[in-house]
Chains A and B, each alone.
Chain A
């Protein structure tokens, strides 16, 4: 499959569900450098956690 220069990333589902957002973002900065939106990726796996945190 052809793709552009922005990275295409796949994440471990179990890991994503248990990792805290700030830890995830701080340990995956190298992916952000490749154009991956880390916050959006974390939210895909943790939509409820985010809304609970806002409360």
Chain B
């Protein structure tokens, strides 16, 4: 058996009986930007509960490169999909190829904060998973897995300024090949409220309250965009040595304690001066120990951004 000169013709057709219940995607309400490697495996897809749990876990993955990023709730989807490309020959418009999908999606929730965060995904080289208003989660069916539809382009548009008659306009455009949303479409049905409830992480920004004093320093914790002080709500939960990692020149330096300081509404760190990696000269890089560490200490929905303490 040889494959020489054996051209593989496309299937001649398919049976066109109409099923009693067929998938018809409704208006898209949400999406997830996912890494190329992300997939919901056959095990994940065993039940709606396991699929939802896999999505929830992926949204808080400690490794940002493996994390899926929930997009804000869609308020308006404009279909700018390219028409089928044809060539007119002898009066017949012969099909050259399918048009590419281009969707312009406008959102309101999150405003400038989310807009600025999404701008960091400029030319994101990953995929997208869509969610419609009925909770159908749609992506690319690859074998027994559900993957993200590879994006030709993800472009977060610059915000447009509010006017006397319109609110500020936040939007992004996505572009992808038609095959993924047709023959390659994979989907699962989840409870809409459950899947809409998967939200993105917020950053916790650390800032030095006063210059470091050899082994001690105080850090204030605020949210990344709105700069809301987290001390009153999470101070006691954040004051846990398992939430943070301190390094100097890449080597971990032991943090002996972290305590709340109500006077300055900050976290008081103490370093172990007997640690061989400690050097009074510093500087020390203070990082979060991971999203899962925060969750374990009842601080959910956040990730700590690193700070260099001189």
Which A residues have a C-beta under 8 Å from some C-beta of B? 1-12, 14-16, 19, 27-28, 30-31, 34, 36
Contacts and interface: CB of A to CB of B under 8 A. Distances in A.
B261 interface: yes
B259 A36 contact: yes
A31 B267 CA distance: 11
Contacts of B272: 12, 15
Nearest to A15: B256
Interface in B12-71: none
Contact of A3 (B241, B255, B258, B260): B260
A5 to B, nearest CB: 4
A54 B83 CA distance: 87
B79 interface: no
Contact of A1 (B237, B242, B255): B237
Interface of B is mostly: mixed
Given A10-B240, A30-B216, A4 B262 contact: yes
Contact of A34 (B215, B242, B259): B259
Interface in B245-285: 254-263, 268, 270, 272-273
Nearest to B213: A30
Given A1-B234, A12-B254, A28 B270 contact: yes
6 contacts: A3-B235, A8-B260, A9-B257, A9-B258, A28-B256, A34-B268
A11 B50 CA distance: 36
B298 to A, nearest CB: 7
B239 A31 contact: no
Q: Which of B215, B232, B262 has the most CB of A within 10 A?
A: B262
B246 to A, nearest CB: 11
The majority secondary structure among interface residues of chain A is loop
A27 B259 contact: no
B236 interface: yes
A8 B259 contact: yes
Contacts of A36: 259
Contacts of B237: 1
A2 B256 CA distance: 24
A7 B254 contact: no
Contacts of A16: 256
A52 B263 CA distance: 38
Highest count of chain B CB atoms <10 Å: which of A4, A15, A16? A15
Contacts of B298: 1
Contacts of A9: 239, 257-260
B273 A10 contact: no
Contact of A11 (B234, B256, B263, B273): B256
Nearest to A30: B216
